[in-house]
Amino acid sequence: MPEIKAPLFSIDGKEKGEVTLDSGIFGIEPNIPVIHQVVTAQLAGRRRGTHSTKTRAEVRGGGRKPWRQKGLGRARQGSIRAPHWTGGGIAHGPKPRDYSQRTPKKMKRLALRSALSARASESAVKVVEDFSWDAPKTKVAQQLLSQIGVQGKALVVIDKTDVNAQRAFRNIPSVRLAEAGHVTTYDVMWAQDLVFSASTINSLANPAGFDVSDSDFVKEDAAKTQGGEG
């Protein structure tokens, strides 16, 4: 298997060579159906599910029959709060629900590897030596992205200690930030370019460095959390 490499840049945006990427993470054959299923589960887990409509039993009014059953030449009606009346209850309307899906951990790992490999095959992975800026300057961050060839949406993976970099990048609308241990498949597929620091790209070689927990993708089962039945 040929080596997979990504360009290495200094903090000033000057190219300094190449970095060899882990073929087990950036060099596998992307599994598109698994990527789709995991991204769908992640987006479903983000839904709040607080939508609610009132049924005819919950709408105020409609206690008595609007007119007598027979003799008026009009259709019989039992309540002015029936679903076909203006102001009536909603039939089969949305109620609060949990949209989260349970995704196997092996599937999430495969989806993330597939997404990273797809971006690496497109030469969309770039590595910066470090983000050791003395002050958080958004203008400096924009200049760095421009110099390394990032034009559109970008996922910047930083270390949690890079506080200045986090503050500098977070004001750029086309940039999404993530720590090495919280990179998700959706973030990778959303971005056109992936920008890693040298420390975060090395941490990906350790499965614990990019492994994601269930809470990053789906909500915890409320019934199990409260000790009820699953």
Q: Where are the domains of the chain?
A: 4-48+99-225, 53-93
Judge: domain 4-48+99-225, CATH 3.40.1370.10: yes
Q: Over the range 195-214, which residues count as b (16 or more CB within 10 Å of their CB) and which as e?
A: bbbbbbbebbeeeebbebeb
Each residue's pLDDT, cut to its tens digit, for the chain (230 residues) gives: 578 889 999 888 888 888 888 888 898 999 999 999 999 999 998 899 999 999 999 999 888 999 999 999 999 999 999 999 999 999 999 999 999 988 899 999 999 999 999 999 999 999 998 888 888 889 999 999 999 988 889 999 988 888 888 899 988 999 999 888 888 899 999 999 999 988 888 776 554 444 454 445 544 444 444 444 43
Sequence-distant (6+) residues with CB within 8 A of 61 are: 80, 81, 87
